[in-house]
Amino acid sequence: MTQAVVVVLALVAALCAAIGIVVRQLSTRHVPADEGMSASMFTSLLRNRIWWAGTGAAVLGYVFQALALSFGSLLLVQPLLVSCLLFALPISARIVGERVTRAEWGWALLLTAGLAVFVLVGKPREGHVDPTVLSWILVAAVCIPLIVGCIAGAARSLGDRRAVLLAVAVGVMFGMIALFTKLSARSFQTGGLAALLSNPAPYLLILVSVVATVLQQSAFHAGSLQTSVPTMLVLEPIAAVLLGILVLGEELTVHGPAILALPVAVAAMLAGTVALARDSAALDEKLAHEYAESEVAQ
């Protein structure tokens, strides 16, 4: 499959993810504050049709992400997923009846340019799909204490501090989910169902996905979206790219003077992601407030 098709699949995944983010965060606004990070919060969401709609969009986005990762590298697919902000911002603006500002379009252009340069100049190349035991130990030694530490800290915190700590854990876990998805897809491609079921990756994928979903909803509920959403969206591709390099041996194939453009492209991507995530989250907060008022009025 050509790189262009992989890019299209990743962009469709980003569109679905954007819809999922906008819709699912709405569903947390009716949950009482004292139910954050609790089983009652999740059971309440299970009874909410809006949450199911958002989850359906997110699942569809994950399907397209898995297809993209089946044929493309983590270094290519995961950075492209931050383009969900290019879709989430106008969606939220349209719903609340506001216009996207010139500054926001400027950040969107910067993010798009950074992504384009990263893909065209960096030319991400796939590695192997047979991680060594040492690489797994390295992942466990770094990721597990970080995630557990963030969850423990969030349990003792409130407000934006809790939201940020949970967002860090979620961003790292989403990077791990991308890795497990890549390994599961390739295992199925090469050996069919038998190979997939004998691989630990799909089981880890299910476990981490469930925990990450609960923590993400808790982060949305805990504090301002302008703190949690940018943190998640920046950390997810960073974690996935690092895992792709360390575990799968993926690499960029840029050579010569063009290598100087990569740091600029990465900086542009990070700046655009943070700015757009904050603006998008601000709109979502307004949308959630209007939704909550309409619920009370009914």
pLDDT tens-place string over residues 271-292? 888 887 777 767 766 666 665 5
pLDDT > 70? residue 22: yes
Greater confidence, 126 or 150? 150
**pLDDT level of residue 148 (50, 70, 90 thresholds):** very high
Supply the angle between the helices 133-155 and 159-197 in degrees, to the nearest 10.
Answer: 150
d(C-alpha 3, C-alpha 181), whole Å: 18
pLDDT > 60? residue 295: no
Q: Where are the alpha helices (DSSP H) in the chain?
A: 3-27, 39-46, 49-71, 74-81, 84-96, 102-122, 133-155, 159-197, 201-222, 225-248, 261-297
pLDDT of res. 121: 77
Q: Would the pTM of this model clear 0.85, i.e. be above it?
A: no
User: Total domain count for the chain?
Assistant: 1
**pLDDT level of residue 166 (50, 70, 90 thresholds):** very high
For the chain, percent of residues with pLDDT exceeding 70:
85
Query: Range of 77's domain?
Result: 3-297
pLDDT > 80? residue 10: yes
Across the chain, what does the average pLDDT equal?
A: 81
pLDDT > 60? residue 294: no
Average pLDDT (165-178) is 92
